[in-house]
Amino acid sequence: MWTVTSYVLRQKLAGRKQYPLVLMLEPLFRCNLACAGCGKIQYPAHILKKDLTPEECFRAIDECGAPMVSIPGGEPLMHPRIAEIVEGLVARKKYIYLCTNALLLKEKLNLFKPSKYLTFSVHLDGQQEEHDLAVCREGGYDIAVDAIKEALSRGFRVTTNTTLFDGADPKSVRAFFDDMMELGLEGMMLSPGYSYDKAPDQKHFLGRARTRRMFRAILSNRKKNWRFNLSPLFLEFLMGKRTYPCTPWGMPTYNIFGWQKPCYLLQDGYAETFDELLSTTNWSNYGTESGNPACANCMVHSGYEASAVNATFSSLGGFLATVKATLFSSYRDEEALRLLEEHQAPVNPLIQIATANDSLQETRA
């Protein structure tokens, strides 16, 4: 928290309007799952075979200077040099969130050393049935929970990251939070799904109004022991209590194509350097207010969490609202309790969307 605070204050003092908070570093697109809502693994085979080298990863972080690095993918644990990448980032004192579906986590833990800079951010989309459905893999939840326990017992930092799609049952999500806190996780991350045009399942992405309604039901009347690893103002944004403009430069994406314009989700070209990304992207074309249909329903954390963090440090009101949200708010809301009782869409049958490699054996790096 102190690292982020001092970094953001330095940017403010320097008068920087567009600064990166988290580098979204995608060192590969390969994965050992084929989730219905994923827009990353539909690349042709020759692209899926490619990896960023550790040197390319280090150049990207040195260029942009963000204090935190999120490593999604693909599945980063399938990268043959992931341990080198993590080691180099730790040496640079970057806080790393290594996002993994955890299918390979248990067997790859030996590659890493526990560090305050390294957190495994395990992708879990809810309780067992919901998660296995979302990732199109029966048994995925049990493997991930087993790996989480192992990582915690060896002294690693572990959080979860959860993407919620239309039809998610708020009651079940709340029960999932209880389960995760019982495991002893450090915190939980949340985001609504984004409607990737490449994703096989186009029916279950949330519109903005439905997103707010769902998150109001989930996050109101909050239990004291729930810990979220997100800006509290971003959570209020998801609940419909605040509005923010998208600030996609806050979480820029670097992958095998270069710096992706404008954000983690859209691909309107690439820049060779971070400075080029900032100076050549027409930022006014993006965000909900822009009228760009690709942004119309978007509330994802990679577009809006940096906006919420920026709001904390932009005024005394923003700072006090963050303190209040962190220390005092349980968000009591009778209407939200009623929303919890609303009928939920039935869970769909579990289907395998694409032929991700069927056995873990085949997908080991």
Q: List residues near ligand SF4 by CB under 6 A.
A: 246, 248, 262-263, 265-266, 286-288, 294-295, 298, 300, 302-303
Alpha-carbon distances of 289 from 131, 244, 245, 297, 298, rounded to whole Å? 33, 10, 7, 11, 11
Pick the closer one to ligand SF4 by CB: 196 or 226: 196
User: Which helix (H) or strand (E) is 9 found in, with range?
Assistant: helix 2-13
CB of 243 vs ligand SF4, minimal distance in Å: 13
Closest among 105, 118, 111, 112 to 71, alpha carbons compared: 118
Closest among 37, 61, 13, 51 to 259, alpha carbons compared: 61
CB of 282 vs ligand SF4, minimal distance in Å: 11
CB of 335 vs ligand SF4, minimal distance in Å: 27
Helices and strands in the chain, H and E counts:
15, 9
Strand ranges across the sheet with 187-192: 187-192, 157-164, 118-123, 95-100, 68-71, 22-25, 253-255, 258-262, 267-271
CB of 123 vs ligand SF4, minimal distance in Å: 19
CB of 292 vs ligand SF4, minimal distance in Å: 6
Pick the closer one to ligand SF4 by CB: 263 or 325: 263
CB of 254 vs ligand SF4, minimal distance in Å: 15
Pick the closer one to ligand SF4 by CB: 294 or 365: 294
Pick the closer one to ligand SF4 by CB: 188 or 246: 246
Written as six digits, the tokens of 143 are 């493997």
Question: In terms of DSSP bridges, do strands 253-255 and 22-25 run parallel, antiparallel, or are they unpaired?
Answer: parallel
Within its chain, how far is the Cα of 301 from the centroid? Answer: 7
Pick the closer one to ligand SF4 by CB: 97 or 304: 304
Pick the closer one to ligand SF4 by CB: 98 or 295: 295
Ranked by CB distance to ligand SF4, the top (closest) residue is 303
